[in-house]
Amino acid sequence: MHTPAPFRHDLAPAAEELQRQARTWLLIALASIVLCLSLFIGVGAAVFCYLALRSAEQGALADAEQKLLWGKVLTAVGSAIGVASTALSVLLRG
């Protein structure tokens, strides 16, 4: 059974900041799913942001940073694809 890493006091501010960023990007990823219709990429982004949040809570900051990076990248890509496909659809109709 996996036991979480001990939480060191000197990591607390960094872990809190990563948790805040992960929550923010999780909300952005969820908004991307709804507003940009980027269902598959957006779900992947939300999962990575959620995993980053959990890793930061356990004190695994390097792991949390990597997962959050992937969450940010997937959110940006999904949003860009959603906006581009919507713009293309509007242009081709008019």
39-67 exposure pattern, b = at least 16 Cβ within 10 A, e = fewer: eebbbbbbbbbbbbbbbbbbbbbebbbeb
* pLDDT tens column, 21-61: 999 999 999 999 998 888 889 999 999 999 999 999 999 99
The confidence score (pLDDT) of residue 36 equals: 85
Domain positions in the chain: 12-93
Average pLDDT value for residue range 60-79? 96
Of 81, 89, 79, nearest to 28 (Cα)?
Answer: 79
- For the chain, what is the mean pLDDT? 89
pTM (predicted TM-score): 0.81
Residues 92/49, Cβ–Cβ less than 8 Å: no
More confident residue, 14 or 70: 70
